[in-house]
């Protein structure tokens, strides 16, 4: 048994070393170059454990500046878990352990001395289900700047709320009813409100966990357009179940499979010429 596994590993690594386009069939080594020069976030040897269960096995991945990195893969492949490592959102889950190194601008975010609170102001997050606070639209956006003390006056805060809503493409729709409850908006508007809330604290990185899965196609199109615009100022990592969405919005794509990062590369290349059998099976719809 052991010999066969070793054999497979030896043969696949030989194939990789030869640098040929020969298809990788079984290896769980990442195919493609996971690093980018001048990365905003640099993840090395990430392992995530839920109790005794290992959810992510040694993932290396970089997130570049002003790029949209999409993460795709079948359900339970660890892409959301990986995303939640990037702003230490996994801290809130009992029995979850993360090992390895994640650096944000060269700073180790899992360092014991690092406080996750300011980290989450730098690495914002948009969730699968739109989750505005049950407060007014204004309060939703103003909450982050207020707790972090980003503004000194009411006028400054008003301006920040307006710019954030404008950047999220929501201003024209809500400017006359800023005091209306955020939960009264439509699903797509709520998600854009959540994006406005995230960018109000001027993060460097925005993490999006299937931001469009609860939205209709029109609202999805608006959000995708918005993601493309936001790329000018932020680094964005997006988890999505829709391969079309990954193809439309991202520059780089990472394919996860059962806790392994199987393949990563330029989005065009991943969708037109996948190197790994699993990636090909997934994007051609053979499973997943």
Partner 1 sequence: MTDQTPASAPHKRTIDAVNASLKRRRAKERRFRRLGAAAVALGLLFVALLFADIVGKGHTAFQQTYIKLPVVLERAQIDPEGSGSAEVIARANYLGIIRAALRAHFPEVTARRDKRALYQMVSVGAPQLLRDRVLADPALIGTTAEVWLLADDDIDMVVKGQIDRTLPESKRRVKDQTLGWIERLESEGRITKRFNTIFFTNGTSREPELAGIAGALAGSFYTLALTLLLSFPIGVGAAIYLEEFAPKNRWTDLIEVNINNLAAVPSIVFGLLGLAVFIGIFGVPRSTPLVAALVLTLMTLPTIIISSRAALKSVPPSIREAALGVGASSLQTQFHHVLPLALPGMLTGAIIGMAQALGETAPLLMIGMIAFIVDVPAGFTDPATVLPVQIFLWADSPERAFVERTSAAIMVLLAFLILMNLAAVLLRRRFERRW
> Alpha-carbon distance 250 to 44, whole Å?
22
Q: Are 36 and 235 in contact (CB under 8 A)?
A: no
Which of residues 126 and 261 has its CB atom nearest to partner 1 in the complex? 126
Q: Is 151 in the site for partner 1 (CB under 8 A)?
A: no
CB 139 within 8 A of CB 133: yes
| Residue selected from 127, 228, 269, 288 as contacting partner 1 according to rule CB under 8 A | 127
- How far apart are alpha carbons 14 and 18 in whole angstroms? 6
Based on CB atoms, which residue is closest to partner 1, 24 or 206? 206
When asked if residue 132 is in the footprint of partner 1 (CB under 8 A), the reply is yes
| Cβ atoms 219, 130 nearer than 8 A | no
- Tell me how crowded residue 247 is: count the other CB atoms within 10 A of its CB: 18
- Nearer to partner 1 among residue 200 and residue 223 (C-beta): 200
Q: Enumerate residues 81-100 that contact partner 1 by CB under 8 A.
A: 87, 89, 92, 94
User: 229 is written with which tokens?
Assistant: 């615009």
Complete DSSP assignment for 166-212 = HHTT-HHHHTT-TTSBGGGS-HHHHHHHHHHHHHTT--SEEEEESTT
**Minimum separation from the CB atom of position 288 to partner 1 (A):** 26
**Between 20 and 94, CB nearer to partner 1:** 94
- Interaction pattern, residues 189-228, with partner 1; x per rule: CB under 8 A: -----x--xx-xx---------------------------
- Measured CA distances, 205 to 29, 173, 232 (Å): 27, 26, 12
Which of the stretches 15-23, 54-62, 128-136, 278-286 binds partner 1 when contact is defined by CB under 8 A?
A: 128-136
How far is residue 103's CA from residue 43's CA, in Å, rounded to a whole number? 6
Q: Between 154 and 183, how does the x/- string for binding to partner 1 read (CB under 8 A)?
A: -----------------------------x
Q: How far is the CB of 286 from partner 1 (least distance, A)?
A: 34
How is the beta sheet containing 39-50 ordered, strand by strand?
53-64, 39-50, 96-104, 107-108
Least distance to partner 1, CB of residue 219, Å: 18
Tokens of 185: 């908006």
Nearest Cα residue to 263 out of 105, 79, 47: 79
Helix axes 137-148, 187-199, angle to 10 degrees: 20
Among 16, 133, 266, 269, binds partner 1 (CB under 8 A): 133
Site string for partner 1, 227-266 (x = CB under 8 A): ----------------------------------------
- Nearest distance from C-beta of residue 64 to partner 1, angstroms: 22
Cα–Cα dist 27/45, whole Å:
17
Binding site residues, partner 1, CB under 8 A = 87, 89, 92, 94, 117-121, 124-127, 129, 131-134, 143-144, 147-148, 183, 194, 197-198, 200-201
């Amino acid at each position: 048994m052991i010999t066969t596994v070793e054999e497979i590993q030896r043969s696949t690594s030989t194939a990789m070393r030869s640098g040929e386009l020969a298809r990788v069939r079984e290896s769980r080594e990442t195919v493609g170059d996971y690093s980018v020069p001048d990365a905003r976030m640099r993840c090395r040897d990430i392992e995530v454990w839920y109790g005794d269960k290992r959810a992510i096995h040694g993932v290396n991945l970089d997130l570049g500046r002003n790029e949209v990195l999409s993460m795709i893969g079948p359900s339970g492949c660890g892409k959301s878990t990986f995303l939640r490592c990037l702003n230490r959102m996994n801290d809130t889950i009992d029995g979850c352990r993360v090992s390895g190194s994640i650096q944000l601008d060269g700073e180790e975010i899992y360092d014991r001395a690092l406080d996750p609170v300011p980290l989450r102001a730098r690495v914002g997050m948009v969730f699968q289900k739109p989750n505005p606070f049950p407060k007014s639209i204004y309060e939703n956006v103003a909450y982050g700047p207020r707790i972090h003390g980003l503004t000194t006056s009411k006028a400054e805060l008003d301006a920040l709320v307006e710019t954030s809503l404008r950047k999220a493409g929501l201003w024209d729709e809500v400017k006359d009813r800023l005091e209306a409850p955020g939960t009264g908006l439509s699903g797509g508007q709520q998600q854009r409100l959540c994006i406005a809330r995230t960018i109000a604290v001027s993060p460097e990185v925005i993490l999006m966990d299937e931001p469009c899965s609860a939205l209709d196609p029109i609202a999805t199109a608006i959000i995708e357009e918005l993601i493309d615009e936001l790329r000018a100022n932020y680094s964005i990592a997006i988890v999505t179940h829709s391969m079309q969405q990954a193809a439309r919005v991202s520059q780089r794509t990472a394919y996860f499979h059962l806790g392994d990062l199987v393949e990563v590369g330029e989005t065009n290349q991943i969708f037109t010429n996948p190197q790994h059998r699993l990636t090909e099976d997934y994007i051609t719809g053979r499973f997943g």
